[in-house]
Structure 1
């Protein structure tokens, strides 16, 4: 046995302990020189002033030069500042150094191409004296951007009140380490544990302070397993902790309350306050980033004062490399900031309908017989599902795009059997390619020079599941195109049109690398160091895979690709999940702020592994997780191969019934969820939302991350403790709320102590909304296409309600050409009206449907009405009392119009008589 084989076996044997959370395996701020340096800076230490401020090609441009040049600054050249204004209140700031021996990396292919078309070309510059010479430019109606020259500062101002909204370098902490020549005897290397980073270009970090005004809390900067509202990491009365770290890492069994970085990084932060509303800041930078949230009073010695009316939250942003390419969003409403952010990074993709349904996954389903048995059991127990997943063991020796032909001899037939029931399959394709000269993929990548290089210019060789592995350099567009071609049916032998893809380990994960990832001095396309592109590596891999599925289907069907690593813009390419969580109550609890934070930063299509990836959940925990997971945007059960089997029917008849009921709720609500995904696709508004997004003036919602909204109509409160008998649920607003299962009405603006049963977690429909459901349960969502709808009208105190329904073919891109149905249902003055929201002109394609509405249920309507008049058919129908859910006929009865026989796609009115 070779030494290499022995080494690999040892790695596998140790993997369960090596990759569970071990603090010492990962760097902290004090072990990270750029972070330590930035944290040591004192307010006011920046000496830069803005000179030569002018308008050029529609932008404000300036030079930033040190006011007092000292020895350390003697080699510095002026920094070049460019300020650009875009439609809808978006400001872009770029700061870079003049040309040097190496061009600093600017992250490509994240800002969408059409964003540049929204640029407003500045025509004039206004000069004001704001505690010194300042230049002012128009941003949007009511807002200006101000550059203060000496000392340099940028802030956005509300012109009506004079108040600041957001600022950069108000505390003089800006620092930009310019590239320079190494002095003789100078050592730029950095060491961590057994690894050495050569750092051939030396220090090149950037740091600065950003302040949010009239802010009660700040949110965002995923991915991290901690509270929704970001806690201070430094300052008075705060036990100093690590900064929030953005550095994509493969962290097994991560701890549930930590600022430590996980699998993804989105350097986008939002602030929210009762007085002003919401603003946002995004730094397009893919290098490691550390962010401090600073407690009030941290910099009192700087002498900076503010109007007493303005609360302020200060933050400190620190990155190892790159440039300043920052975007400021003025809001002022929460959904405004999301719309502004996705205008820059792209709107979330609209998934296929099947992807919105329930997914069943395990590491691993053993063979074709196992797949067939699991599939049959779902039918036997009347549990719908849409997707069965296969992990790495389905491949031939961890060679992706292959099958173990002993365990999976007939993969096409296996997929066709699932497709016959309207179901799909997902297989895993990771970025590490087995270094095996007999493996065609490795041979081709090696010959073409398509691998990431090590610091010496050789193909990087690291260890992952196949053993010795190399990694495709997907920063290179040519290599992304090559990778995409591998998903063709001719190349991925055994794949069919019902097969979709899962990208795991794409942080990238390197078992024998520093911090279980690729060395920072590895080299990418164009001589870019890995340190500069690290957080976006998985993003480019995700992009290439999604492009592969588009190519495979000749652009006809929307791709589905799940990715573990993520970056700004990942929402354009598919779904993500929160990684390798654990089967415990704390991880169930933290899944909610994790999913909400992803949604706030554009990643609407996200969820957590139901049941927990590691460990064996007690049956009660598993049931509670299904009951909560049914409301995640991405609903998938998954488990480690060392865990006991935990398919829904393995825990006794009662637990099976409870899990089946939770999954049925998701399937009933699929029309509502799909409508929300279309809303996200158009506006960026997430499917799962913090309460404050819908109730932005209600302070009781600002730090609540145990409950969340699904769209604007449903509030969900998880149960996070075992044997819970009661739950405290705050229902915001002044309107009524209706229990989603029973229709029981509750008052808004009050915290209710509710009895909790095993049957469900608390969930409520908001008064004033109309929910669309499909109540006939099939094997899969595909088989529900022609089933009729139920409308549930929850009236507010004005006896009114509204809701929307979006329908297309559930799979193609026809909706981009107008092939969809979009209806608004309005109930007012005793009359329900269906109104068309789809454009009536443009596009030659239309989506048609003869599907009917079979039931209309009114919650909160005064009793006594006996019939209703349907127009334009002039038909009278009876109003009767019926259950809120047909499957629960013993539940309270509500006013119900059965079989009104109106088509969902047509205009009509129903008048209560």
Structure 2
């Protein structure tokens, strides 16, 4: 987040640097939205501008395959790729098939430089992924070859229908799903691979002709249209602009190996809706950026600290997941582009080779290996499982972290914290975590405390902990360059900092002033960082304290694009340009591991919130959408942003309730709490210059509306916890677009203003000022789906309905055919609810059936990984309610009971309800007004299996 300058500048700062720093941050705090001049567009990035062209008619430049063979172990197809007019620099191709119908393609230089090889992304893919043997369907000839991507046990028809077909010249790779062309790779001929070069060769050797010519075309065009008033002199033949040194906003990138870009196009055949590549402030269904009459900026993937981002922009934000999902009525497929460098993605409407309307995506990365996976689906569930097989599922959160979090920059003292904590109790509002921002530290030295305002931090945490609440403090990756600061002195002596291009410790400016940045790409550095969270290192920390990682894109106030120089050096002499989008991922990883290591005896899971992220961050911890604003448009965009993150595996995610910047009006704040209560990560947060906005400060009716929203969140915690556990099994998002549950309904494909929580709740947040009615789509007409208003129990058939939305109403509907576990005794915090009984809410389908699940464990440790949990299902069918194990029973025991069962939609009221154990008859009542049957105090345990018969 962008924050105002620190009040006390270091005496070590040179005067001109102090002036620059104050000016930079002061000016930042005065503007009302993002300063676009600080951030690159495609036109500012030479590799993107150079490669964002259509090679379709450039047949001579096409790439073709040679030397195709099956590896000795039959798990890889190997070959060379050569450019028709440049055969002297061949590329090495490898094609592999992974379990669950995934195809991997890797391309690198066959003859790399002696001292520099292409960077392959590390630590993102799970070590458990494995390849399958390949089987030819059609052996290589001079035109093409094809192979199955199923296992060798697949029947002949499946092999025929699920295959990869590769064209030799020009190189095109097509993925067929169920006999249908689904993804075509390089169909538009946009394959690009710029070979790395030794810089000394530039003196005598011109740039490759195709790059030089295109650069000249671009320069001429810019001059003719006068698009760049700062264009330098036209380069000479041997000094093509941007191939070597490149300048932006006063910063030079030395680019020691010249142009290294890679590019490729993928056509999603027959598809008109694609999703993913978060993080961007655009609609869920990705918009077209290129084509006839369209010239938008491509989507950019480059983790950046963006001040108060704007809506409906394709510019880069804080995190990046290079995953695109394509969905149509017949199939769901996906592409995972495993590259952590700066990347641009164009989207274009095209006609595929079978004359169907399709979507083409053009990927351009500045550097790194060309390494991608084609995920064959063919259902949404299959895609989530396949992607989870590659990068992992969400780390099961501790239950407390699914409750409400209260934060601002900054709670200024222990008395302030105590007052806020007590006010929650006085106003009967539950919460679980209170947060401290950077002002709690001693001069922005992380792992320390401001002893004036926080003289007894351990006592403060214990007071909070006595109510079974937690505290979170911020720990950022920039380290204050102060020789008396133990973190800095150790990091310096051990050589743990990122280096600049001259191999000195990299220095930049952030909150502490002059700072250096730890090289978290090194396992040794990560291990050392983790050790600093031990209680004897992080003085006055307690088991109730958890961590917040901010500014980890990384943010460098005086760096290019407010970030680190691309020619900075990491462990193994890897340039920052290669790993930029991984930096926050590694930092998040090291911090989370530190919390696990400090509590090894307790076996506690960690909780660490991160702003920067990459593919795989889901298995580390939570993220949030960064520095949003107190505006209705930012409330509205939070839903599609979070849906995009969930589709890309980042399920434990949320947006700052109320907006970080500015002062929300009471109605906006109330509506934001209603929306946030049904989003995975639920935190209220505010900028230091924003007025205080704790939930009780706006008076009635707003305090009651906000309280009710938070109380609803707590009542549904068993559903949230169970859904997160289900994610660990299947990878399915906890917050889902409607089309995931209703994949055949084309009218739902672009809906992003309402969503599902798991498979059972449909939510339509109110996001417009003064909105007293809203239109709600209730899907499932073809399957005779019914829905139930959770507030009134009223039943609706699948349709589009108009709903009244007074301030206290957020439209939420339970899906007919579902069972939801709840807890309705709301207490101060989630931990105080641990032993409370459950309410089971059953919504029957038209055929009088329903199904749901309940997961219970100790709510905090890793014991569930060894089977210490309860995981059972509720099934209502043929007038019998059955509760039984989903999987093999464990030794875990719980004293929780079921205190109430509520059933909506019964067509006939039973005369008796009998528990199978002992033929015990249960008392019940029928609420005709709400069309519900209620069984109170059924005396049923969640430990044991049981059945109820409705007669």
The structural deviation recorded for 1:579 is: 0.3
- Deviations along 1:836-870, whole A, 9 cap, x unmatched? 11324xxxx62111211111111111353343111
- Deviations along 1:466-522, whole A, 9 cap, x unmatched? 110000000011101011101000110011011110000000000011110001111
Structure-2 separation of matches of 1:747 and 1:839: 37
Structure-1 separation of matches of 2:564 and 2:140: 49
* Residue matched to 2:225: none
- Deviations along 1:194-240, whole A, 9 cap, x unmatched? 11111111000000101112313000000000100001000124x31
* Residue matched to 2:346: 292
Give the counterpart of 2:915 among 858, 870, 874: 870
* Residue matched to 1:156: 175
Structure-2 separation of matches of 1:829 and 1:382: 42
The structural deviation recorded for 1:100 is: 1.3
* Residue matched to 1:329: 375
- Deviations along 1:451-477, whole A, 9 cap, x unmatched? 011111111110001110000000011
Query: In the alignment, does 2:866 pair up with 1:849?
Result: no
Structure-1 separation of matches of 2:30 and 2:367: 32
Q: Verify the 8 A CA contact 1:80 1:97 in the aligned structure 2.
A: yes
Q: What pairs up with 1:73-88 in 2 under 5 angstroms?
A: 73=86, 76-88=88-100
State the secondary structure of the residue aligned to 1:295.
strand
State the secondary structure of the residue aligned to 2:740.
helix
The structural deviation recorded for 1:871 is: 1.3
Structure-2 separation of matches of 1:25 and 1:104: 29
* Residue matched to 2:358: 312
* Residue matched to 1:302: none
Q: Verify the 8 A CA contact 2:879 2:949 in the aligned structure 1.
A: yes
Give the counterpart of 2:118 among 96, 104, 107: 104
Structure-1 separation of matches of 2:923 and 2:53: 75
TM-score, normalised to structure 1's length? Answer: 0.95
Structure-2 separation of matches of 1:139 and 1:515: 45
* Residue matched to 1:221: 277
Query: In the alignment, does 2:267 pair up with 1:211?
Result: yes
The structural deviation recorded for 1:873 is: 2.8
Q: Verify the 8 A CA contact 1:19 1:251 in the aligned structure 2.
A: no
Give the counterpart of 2:331 among 249, 256, 277: 277
Q: What pairs up with 1:577-596 in 2 under 5 angstroms?
A: 577-596=624-643
Give the counterpart of 1:737 among 760, 773, 787: 787
The structural deviation recorded for 1:124 is: 5.0
The structural deviation recorded for 1:830 is: 1.3
Structure-2 separation of matches of 1:810 and 1:279: 35
Query: In the alignment, does 2:852 pair up with 1:803?
Result: yes
* Residue matched to 1:399: 445
State the secondary structure of the residue aligned to 1:398.
coil
**Following TM superposition, where does structure 1 have runs of at least 4 consecutive aligned residues deviating by more than 6 angstroms?**
none
Q: Verify the 8 A CA contact 1:820 1:838 in the aligned structure 2.
A: no
The structural deviation recorded for 1:125 is: 6.7
The structural deviation recorded for 1:712 is: 0.4
* Residue matched to 1:301: none
Residues 751 and 66 (structure 1), Cα distance of their counterparts in 2 relative to 1, 3 Å cut? same
The structural deviation recorded for 1:881 is: 3.3
State the secondary structure of the residue aligned to 2:394.
coil
* Residue matched to 1:197: 253
Q: What pairs up with 1:744-783 in 2 under 5 angstroms?
A: 744-748=794-798, 750-783=799-832
- Per mean C-alpha deviation after superposition, the further-off stretch among 719-728 and 133-142 is 133-142
Query: In the alignment, does 2:131 pair up with 1:119?
Result: yes
* Residue matched to 1:794: 843
Query: In the alignment, does 2:775 pair up with 1:728?
Result: yes
Query: In the alignment, does 2:685 pair up with 1:638?
Result: yes
* Residue matched to 1:175: 192
Structure-2 separation of matches of 1:123 and 1:166: 20
* Residue matched to 2:229: none
Structure-1 separation of matches of 2:25 and 2:164: 55
Structure-1 separation of matches of 2:272 and 2:744: 11
Structure-1 separation of matches of 2:392 and 2:78: 29
Structure-2 separation of matches of 1:273 and 1:655: 42
The structural deviation recorded for 1:44 is: 5.0
Structure-1 separation of matches of 2:703 and 2:104: 53
Q: What pairs up with 1:860-899 in 2 under 5 angstroms?
A: 860-882=905-927, 892=930, 894-899=932-937
Structure-1 separation of matches of 2:360 and 2:931: 53
State the secondary structure of the residue aligned to 2:52.
helix
- Per mean C-alpha deviation after superposition, the further-off stretch among 732-741 and 866-875 is 866-875
The structural deviation recorded for 1:61 is: 3.4
Q: Verify the 8 A CA contact 2:136 2:146 in the aligned structure 1.
A: no
Q: What pairs up with 1:11-50 in 2 under 5 angstroms?
A: 11-17=24-30, 20-45=33-58, 46-50=61-65
The structural deviation recorded for 1:335 is: 1.5
* Residue matched to 1:908: 946
* Residue matched to 1:888: none
Structure-2 separation of matches of 1:114 and 1:174: 30
The structural deviation recorded for 1:14 is: 2.5
- Deviations along 1:684-728, whole A, 9 cap, x unmatched? 101100000000001111000000000000000011111111101
- Deviations along 1:335-364, whole A, 9 cap, x unmatched? 210110110111110010001111111101
Unaligned runs of 5+ in 1: 298-304, 884-890
State the secondary structure of the residue aligned to 1:296.
strand
Q: Verify the 8 A CA contact 2:66 2:82 in the aligned structure 1.
A: no
* Residue matched to 1:478: 524
Structure-2 separation of matches of 1:365 and 1:522: 36
Q: What pairs up with 1:514-529 in 2 under 5 angstroms?
A: 514-529=560-575
The structural deviation recorded for 1:272 is: 0.1
Query: In the alignment, does 2:649 pair up with 1:621?
Result: no
Q: Verify the 8 A CA contact 2:349 2:357 in the aligned structure 1.
A: no
Residues 60 and 695 (structure 1), Cα distance of their counterparts in 2 relative to 1, 3 Å cut? same
Q: What pairs up with 1:251-650 in 2 under 5 angstroms?
A: 251-274=306-329, 276-296=330-350, 306-308=353-355, 310-554=356-600, 556-650=603-697
Q: Verify the 8 A CA contact 1:20 1:251 in the aligned structure 2.
A: no
Structure-2 separation of matches of 1:64 and 1:718: 53
Q: Verify the 8 A CA contact 1:459 1:470 in the aligned structure 2.
A: yes
Q: Verify the 8 A CA contact 2:794 2:931 in the aligned structure 1.
A: no
Q: Verify the 8 A CA contact 1:61 1:80 in the aligned structure 2.
A: no
The structural deviation recorded for 1:166 is: 1.1
Structure-1 separation of matches of 2:839 and 2:346: 49
Count matched residues: 882
* Residue matched to 2:74: 58
Structure-2 separation of matches of 1:350 and 1:567: 18
State the secondary structure of the residue aligned to 2:539.
coil
The structural deviation recorded for 1:882 is: 5.0
The structural deviation recorded for 1:145 is: 1.8
State the secondary structure of the residue aligned to 1:183.
helix
Q: Verify the 8 A CA contact 2:655 2:676 in the aligned structure 1.
A: yes
Structure-2 separation of matches of 1:396 and 1:893: 60
CA RMSD, 1 decimal = 1.6
Residues 18 and 538 (structure 1), Cα distance of their counterparts in 2 relative to 1, 3 Å cut? farther
Q: What pairs up with 1:665-676 in 2 under 5 angstroms?
A: 665-676=712-723
Structure-2 separation of matches of 1:649 and 1:154: 59
The structural deviation recorded for 1:157 is: 1.6
State the secondary structure of the residue aligned to 1:832.
strand
Residues 575 and 661 (structure 1), Cα distance of their counterparts in 2 relative to 1, 3 Å cut? same
State the secondary structure of the residue aligned to 1:797.
coil
- Per mean C-alpha deviation after superposition, the further-off stretch among 250-259 and 892-901 is 892-901
Query: In the alignment, does 2:308 pair up with 1:246?
Result: no
